[in-house]
Amino acid sequence: MSVPIFRRLVISELERYLITDDILVIHGARQVGKTSIMKYLQSDLQQKQDQTIYFDLEDSRFKNLLDRGVDEFVNYLSEQGFSSKDLELSQRRLFVFIDEIQYLDNPSSFLKLLADHHQYLKVIVSGSSSFEMKSKFQDSLVGRMVDFEIHPLSFEEFLTFKGISLQQTKIFTKQRIAELKTLFTEFLLYGGYPKIVITSEISMKERYLQQIIDTYIRKDIRDMAVIKNVDKFNRLLEILASQSGNLLNISELSFTCGLARDTLENYLFLLEQTYIIKLLRPYSNNLRTELIKMPKIFFYDTGLMQMLWMKKLQSQIVGPVFETCIFSELVKRYGSSALNFWRTKDKKEIDFILRTPDAMIPIEAKLQFPKSIPNVLRNFNELYPSKIGEGIGFRLVALDGKAAENGMIYPWQL
């Protein structure tokens, strides 16, 4: 089944950089839609009569071609009818799309030479492993690249794939709220991988998610790390999925999985670098009462999390799925570097601290709206006052029940 190509939110940002000399780097987990984004850009450029060419480096013929160097690559382009002299004389650019750039032996040198000596080429590349890209990309590319991190679909994009427009208003009707609740419940139960979203049968969703787990997650880690005991690694994935949203005790996890601490930390690092999990760090302003060491573990996708944890998708919201989904929505909107959580030694805790250029906003995620705003949110604002205009300095996001106070919002209002 082919996945339809929809316009993702990141397209607007990418289009702004198509006229610059920067190399555009699109990176994220496998199967989140990087190739579709590149295909969308290519199709749009072709409709505007721009010249494009596409290389998928999972095809060994193209990998071998690019590994032979820039001169060989430019000769190939000429053989395909893209003359460098004609392009330079016409002052037009050839848009070069390279999928899975991390497969090149030396992508850093290849891209630097293209950027420095062949400016009639506008290069857009994708990659599925931050670890492999960082290990192969050198400092020589600093200042020549602009990065775009791609995640599974946000709820707004989920609605787009469903053919539904989300128009933000200050007041939603009861009918509209009920409709959006039903749709958001589907979104958090099954996750945001594009192929999963457009598949209607639950059994097929489960099969596709299991394929992502078996073919990509486990394969990617096996390719990057020498895993001596696959069973222990698989057990680690299951435990991590069951703990999404919880504090991560490395020593306890090491004992439970029977893995040496160094080995465990390496696996966690690689799972982060392949965009499966995120270790969320606590916010601290060096107050003695704050706990500053132990991170929280979060999965980026709730469907994947539940398949690893319970081996099947659920019909009801269980455990920390809602909080995990809110984490994922915040990351997609603001970026993972903008998030922390807050916890003190006397066990006061806030799920998320969102740091923006203008404010620091505490956010609590609860499946059911409470009767009133928890005191801990107001207390945080008193400890860390920040200017946010005329808005409320905190957010309580929930799905069920009714928002009773200012600052209480539904997930689609994040």
* pLDDT band (50, 70, 90) for residue 227: confident
Distance of alpha carbon 410 from alpha carbon 41, whole angstroms: 33
- Does the pLDDT at position 199 exceed 80? yes
* Cα(273)–Cα(220) distance, integer angstroms: 10
> What six digits make up the tokens of 9?
């939110």
Return d(Cα 62, Cα 73) in angstroms, integer.
10
State the span(s) of the chain assigned CATH 3.40.50.300.
Answer: 10-150
Report the alpha-carbon distance of residue 90 to residue 147 in Å, rounded: 29
Q: Residue 326 class from Cβ within 10 Å (0-12 exposed, 13-18 middle, 19+ buried)?
A: buried
- Whether the CB-CB separation of 133 and 127 falls below 8 Å is answered with yes
pLDDT of residue 156 exceeding 60, the answer is yes
What would the pLDDT profile of 102-119 be if each residue is shown by its tens digit?
A: 889 989 889 999 999 999
Over residues 228-243, the mean pLDDT reads 90
- pLDDT-based confidence at residue 311 (cuts at 50, 70, 90): very high
Is the pLDDT assigned to residue 90 strictly greater than 90? no
Looking at the chain, how many residues does it have?
A: 414
- pLDDT for the residue 89: 85
Residue 347: predicted pLDDT: 80
Q: How far is CA 295 from the centre of its chain?
A: 19
Residue 236 · residue 263 · CB < 8 Å: no
Per-residue model confidence (pLDDT) at position 39: 96
Name the token pair of 130: 């931050």
Residue among 325, 351, 342, 353 at smallest CA distance from 412 = 325
Residue 134's SS3 state is: helix
pLDDT at 124: 97
* CATH 3.40.50.300 correct for 10-150: yes
Give how far Cα 231 sits from Cα of 149, 258, 297, 308, 405, Å.
31, 10, 21, 13, 49
Task: Tell me if residue 179 falls in helix, strand or coil.
Answer: helix
Q: What is residue 360's predicted lDDT score, i.e. its pLDDT?
A: 87
- Please give the distance of CA 165 from its chain centroid, rounded to a whole number: 22
Grade residue 140 by pLDDT with cuts at 50, 70 and 90: low
Predicted confidence (pLDDT) at residue 12 exceeds the cutoff of 80: yes
pLDDT for residue 279 is more than 60: yes
Give the residue-averaged pLDDT of 191-208: 96
Distance (Å, whole) CA 73 – CA 406? 59
What was the pLDDT predicted at 356? 85
Residue-level pLDDT at 132: 65
Rounded mean pLDDT of the chain? 89
Q: Among 99, 5, 13, which Cα is nearest to 52's?
A: 99
Percentage of the chain beyond pLDDT 70 is 92
Mean pLDDT across the stretch 178-190? 96
Tens of pLDDT, residue by residue over 371-405, are 999 999 988 888 887 655 445 688 999 999 988 88
First vs last Cα of the chain: how many Å apart? 33
Q: Is 32 left (phi over 0), alpha (psi -120 to 50) or beta?
A: alpha
pLDDT for 391: 55
Q: Is the pLDDT of residue 154 over 60?
A: yes
Sign of the dihedral through C-alpha 389, 392, 394, 398: negative
The answer, yes or no, to whether residue 413 has pLDDT greater than 60, is yes
Q: What is the pLDDT of residue 197?
A: 96
